[in-house]
Amino acid sequence: MKKLPGEILLHFAKKESRLVCGMMSGTSADSIDLAFCRIKGAGLPSKREKGAELVLQHFYSHKMPAFLADHMKNIPSLGVKEIAELDVQIAEAFAEAFKTGLEEAKLESDEVDFISSHGQTLYHHSRQEGVRSASLQLGNGDILSSRSGVPVISNFRVKDIAAGGEGAPLTPYADAILFKSSEKRRAVLNLGGIANITILSEDRNEIIGFDTGPANAPLDRLARILSDNSMDFDVDGKMASKGKVNESLLKRLLDQDLYLRLAPPKSTGFEIYGDDFVEKAKQLHGTFDYNLMATLLSFVVHSIHLAVETFVPKTRMFDELIIAGGGARNPETVRSLKEVFAPIPVLVSDTLGIPSFAREAMAFAILGNDAVFGLPTSLPSVTGAVAGKCLGSWSFPD
């Protein structure tokens, strides 16, 4: 007899551990990342409880089909029909990535308890004045569950928005598990398309987290322009290293950016720091060149430092800054962050056993795991919601 959804989730909760596949595609839309994670227990660590304990069994990055990546790079041109189709097509691409990921990990689908999928963000409200809070991720959970043959939890952001929150960032909850320390006061900086920072605390009500501004989003867009679309990003920061910072432009960008002055809770996206931002910077600079790349990278680093100086209380200043995400693989970004934050040590998360490129997929595996137990996985101190909510919607195969 077929099990009811509640019986399936109860079965998961009773298991000693669960094998969860966290799935994520970032703002660059160039790949689908999969983290096969063995997770024991649930919840945030405390003085009395261990909380969730995670081991990354396998990581796999699957190239996003070119036609889907092209659509995501031209969002303003999409109509309702194209968006509806993309929701299905991205779910099917995720299912194909899952199938290939299983082969890479030497796993069978019935060994994976469920998929925890962030999907692909099409739109996020970005705290723009007069704009209603809303967020849309593509990659329909029902389609993904049907095609993969395993349960899926997805659509993580909407419930936090319904509770009055930003819907982002969501990963600070997972950071408190992945980077817990009783000896160090840690901050975690994720350098995806957007930069977000988490100031950790043993008290969930005192965890601070917010989007500081851009990270890779404008840099990747400029790299595509400078390479005539032959490169999706500035490999090893070589373009930026060949340029010289336009100091007057840097000052103007920092002074005129309204988002940087907004107090947390706040979140942003490529609606602010995408093509229009790069075009505006080019008009002020005069041309697309390596000097503009160096200037935008400097803007990213200084906007992060400014956010910490402005919005992190002195009593909460950290002993270590841990960086993760695609930007952690850009030597110029890492070098510049070390310069502005000295003498505070800046460490790439890999040195602590958390691969920088896997951290977000691992984070969503954690959010899905804790949803099995009905735990509130949003943090009001981060998103501004009226209360913590158990995030995500479940889908089950036929």
Is 190 found in the same domain as 218?
yes
What is the CA 15 to chain-centroid distance, rounded? 28
> Which of these three, 299, 318, 337, is where a domain ends?
318
Is 363 found in the same domain as 289?
no
Is 211 found in the same domain as 156?
no
What is the structure's pLDDT at 366? 98
**The pLDDT of residue 128 is above 80:** no
Q: What do you get for the CA distance between the two ends of the chain, in Å?
A: 13
31 known ligand binder: yes
33 known ligand binder: yes
143 falls within a domain: yes
Is 56 found in the same domain as 150?
yes
What is the structure's pLDDT at 241? 98
Is 298 found in the same domain as 195?
yes
Measure the CA–CA gap between 234 and 218, rounded to whole angstroms.
11
Lookup: tokens for 208: 């601070």
Is 122 found in the same domain as 61?
yes
3-class SS letters over 246-270? CHHHHHHHHHHCHHHHCCCCCCCCH
Q: Structurally, how many domains does the chain consist of?
A: 2
28 known ligand binder: yes
Cβ within 8 Å of residue 313, ≥6 positions away: none
Is 227 found in the same domain as 79?
no
Q: Specify the amino acid at residue 275.
A: D
Is 200 found in the same domain as 294?
yes
CB 337 within 8 A of CB 346: yes
pLDDT tens readout for residues 59-106: 999 999 999 999 998 888 999 999 999 999 999 999 999 999 999 999
Q: Specify the amino acid at residue 80.
A: V
262 falls within a domain: yes
Cβ within 8 Å of residue 242, ≥6 positions away: 290, 294
Q: Among all chains, which residue has been given the structure tokens 């596949």?
A: 21
What residues does 61 pair with on adjacent strands? 33
Cβ within 8 Å of residue 10, ≥6 positions away: none
Mean pLDDT of the chain: 96
pLDDT tens readout for residues 242-289: 999 999 999 999 999 999 999 999 999 988 999 999 999 999 999 999
Integer angstrom CA distances of residue 161 from 199, 229, 251, 305, 377? 22, 36, 34, 28, 13
Is 105 found in the same domain as 65?
yes
Supply angle C-alpha 387, 393, 394, rounded to 5.
Answer: 140
236 falls within a domain: yes
> Which of these three, 298, 318, 338, is where a domain ends?
318
**The pLDDT of residue 21 is above 90:** yes
Q: Where are the beta strands (DSSP E) in 167-217?
A: 186-191, 194-199, 208-214
Is 208 found in the same domain as 115?
no
26 known ligand binder: yes
Report residue 358's pLDDT band, with 50, 70 and 90 as the boundaries: very high
pLDDT tens readout for residues 93-118: 999 999 999 999 999 999 999 999 99
82 falls within a domain: yes
Report residue 165's pLDDT band, with 50, 70 and 90 as the boundaries: very high
Is 307 found in the same domain as 238?
yes
Integer angstrom CA distances of residue 88 from 98, 147, 153, 259? 15, 11, 16, 33
119 known ligand binder: no
Cβ within 8 Å of residue 180, ≥6 positions away: 45, 51, 200
370 falls within a domain: yes
Is 159 found in the same domain as 27?
yes
Helix (H, G, I), strand (E, B), or coil: what is residue 3?
Answer: coil
**The pLDDT of residue 9 is above 80:** yes
Measure the CA–CA gap between 97 and 275, rounded to whole angstroms.
28
> Which of these three, 263, 298, 318, is where a domain ends?
318
What is the structure's pLDDT at 43? 98
Mean pLDDT of 393-398: 95
Between strands 53-63 and 31-40, the pairing is antiparallel
What residues does 353 pair with on adjacent strands? none
Residue % of the chain over a pLDDT of 70:
100
> Which of the pair, 3 or 310, is modelled with greater confidence?
310
Tell me which residue of 161, 174, 97, 100 sits closest to 132, measured CA to CA: 161
What is the structure's pLDDT at 360? 96
Mean pLDDT of 200-217: 96
What is the structure's pLDDT at 146? 98
What is the structure's pLDDT at 129? 76
Enclosing H/E stretch for 32: strand 31-40
pTM: 0.95
pLDDT tens readout for residues 170-201: 999 999 999 999 899 999 999 999 999 999 99
Tell me which residue of 337, 379, 389, 32 sits closest to 171, measured CA to CA: 379
Give me the domain span that covers residue 31: 5-168+358-395
Measure the CA–CA gap between 197 and 190, rounded to whole angstroms.
6
What is the structure's pLDDT at 29? 83
323 falls within a domain: no
27 known ligand binder: yes
Measure the CA–CA gap between 60 and 164, rounded to whole angstroms.
35
**The pLDDT of residue 127 is above 80:** no
Tell me which residue of 366, 372, 364, 381 sits closest to 51, measured CA to CA: 366
**The pLDDT of residue 47 is above 80:** yes
What is the structure's pLDDT at 206? 96
Measure the CA–CA gap between 152 and 21, rounded to whole angstroms.
9
Q: Domain with 379 in it: what CATH number? A: 3.30.420.40
Measure the CA–CA gap between 301 and 260, rounded to whole angstroms.
12
